[in-house]
Each structure stands twice: as C-alpha cells, then as structure tokens.
Amino acid sequence: MNKTLQYLLEVLDLERIEQDIFRGKSHASVIPRVFGGQVAAQALVAACRTVDEDRLPHSLHSYFLRGGDPGAPIVYDVDRIRDGRSFTTRRVVAIQHGQPIFHLSASFQVHEEGLEHQEPMPAAPAPETLLTADEMLPKYAGHFLHESVVELMLEARRAVDLRYVAEPPFATAGAPRDPVSQVWFRTNGKLEGVHDSPMLHMCLATYVSDMTLLDSVLLAHGRGGWTVGDVVGASLDHAMWFHRPFRADEWLLYDTDSPTSQSGRGLARGRIFTQDGKLAVSVIQEGVVRVPRALS
C-alpha cells in the first residue's frame, strides 16, 4: 500500500466528535474546492458508522449544495431516519463554515436471497494492457492550463490505479466522439486487516465514481474539461445502487455514457463491473457543464 492510499484511508476514517456527528479532513485536490467524490464517500462512511454491521448500503442519493473548502474540516451530521427489520435509512448533512455543502440519503439492507439477472458486461481490453496515469498524463502536459495540473492529477490518482480504455476528453478536445467512456480502476494496494470491510470497499467505489463520470458528456461535444479551460463543470447530484459484492482493490470496469445534455447541465450514467463480469454498482449523475462566455 503506497502512502497516497494510506492517506486516502485516513481521510475516510472520520473522527467521532459526538453521537452521530463526525468530522473529516480533505484530500489534496486539483481544483480549489473539495473533490465531490470525497464528500460523498465521507458522508457514506458517517452513515455506515451508525448502522449495524449486518446491514450494507444498497443505495444512496445525494445533492452537492455548495463547493467545499479544502482548507477546513467538514462536519457530518447523521439523522437516524428509520431502523426497520430489513432496511435502515440514514440522512447525512455535510456542514462547513456553518452552512450545508452536501446532503445524502442512504438505505441499508440485511442480506437476503432473491431473483437475479443483469446486463452483460461490455467488451473492454484487459487493464494490464492500458497506460497508467504516470504514463498517460505527462504525454498530454501541453493540453492543460498549468504545468502544475499534471503533477496534481498524478498525485490524486496515485491512491487509485485508474486506466482509460480510450483517450480521455483532455486528450481529444475539439473532436466530438460517441458519448461513451470506460476506465478500469482499483486501489493502489491491497486492503487488509481493519481496512478490509465490505463497507469500506463501497465507500472507496463511491470516491472513485465521481472522478470520470461526466467524461461522456464532454466527449459528445469535443470538450476537454476544466483542465484545458474550455468548460466549467461541477457535480449537482449523485446516485448509486450497490447490487453485488465487490472489492475495490481488484480491477473494476467503470462503463459510462451520456444520454443528454441541455440548459448548462449534462446527465451521465455509469455501470461498475467486476473483472469476471458481475454488475456490482449502477451510478447516475447530473452536473453543470458550461462553456465560458469567451468560448461560446
């Protein structure tokens, strides 16, 4: 396990400051606000800390209300909405500087057997055949607004080994493509001991799920993203459904597409598959996608 992954695990290990109230610090970000995936993952950690271990998250629905300040701690206030025989519901509000910045509702369920079916896993090359972030990002250094962005993006991805199946938006700005994107990802190290829990694997997948989800929106319009200065974007809402067990330290395929964009917003859908083809997680997000006035 490298130091960056260790630090990410520390970021997700919230401090309990009162019953159902937790405090979290922020991971270094390439943007002047807290990374949305971090806030979502920490909020889910806070909810999990108030639920019996025999109940795992099966869904979450959340809204990003304000940009988070990476230089200040975030307080997570958990409301125990309901504890039923099979399902448990929690509501979490993330607060900074006295204001809510994020709101999450999560539902948990005890394990039970039932009918099963799923969509087949799409074709994708093996992750070992694809470029790592250290190999890919320097190749496109000239595409970014500032040279420091490359190093910051590398640092953000050293906790997670993330590999694009095709070239990412920042590499092909100006050339519209089908609104489909795929990445393989896993943590950069095995999760063992106290870190090897189903809930933590789910929280880590939540963290990663916000990294590339809106790529498919950008691809449809040949936009490279905020790192090259031709769009301004931010997550608005984020929903996830956890279907089957998975490990965040084993390869997962994140297959995303965008059915529509309009009114300065883009919608993206994602499916996370295990390497043996099981559909583990479904994701939907809408985000702000605006073209700066000077470029429109």
Q: Looking at 107, 235, 258, 261, which residue is catalytic? A: 235
Q: Looking at 161, 210, 215, 257, which residue is catalytic? A: 210
Crossing angle for the helix pair 3-12 and 198-209, to the nearest 10 degrees: 100
Catalytic (active site) residue 79:
no
d(CA 72, CA 232): 24
Give the DSSP per-residue string, 73-128. -EEEEEEEEEE-SSEEEEEEEEEETTEEEEEEEEEEEE--------PPPPP---GG
Catalytic (active site) residue 83:
no
Catalytic (active site) residue 69:
no
- Backbone CA torsion sign across 266, 89, 209, 38: positive
Backbone angles phi, psi at 277, to 5 degrees: 95, 10
**Of the candidates 191, 182, 192, the residue with the CA atom closest to the CA atom of residue 248:** 191
d(CA 280, CA 252): 9
d(CA 89, CA 47): 9
Q: In what order do the strands lie in the sheet with 99-110?
A: 15-18, 21-24, 74-83, 87-96, 99-110, 55-64, 232-242, 279-290, 265-274, 252-262, 180-187, 160-164
Q: Is 175 exposed, middle or buried (0-12, 13-18, 19+ CB in 10 A)?
A: exposed
Listed in sequence order, the DSSP H helices in the chain are 3-12, 36-48, 133-136, 147-157, 198-209, 215-220
Catalytic (active-site) positions: 210, 235, 285
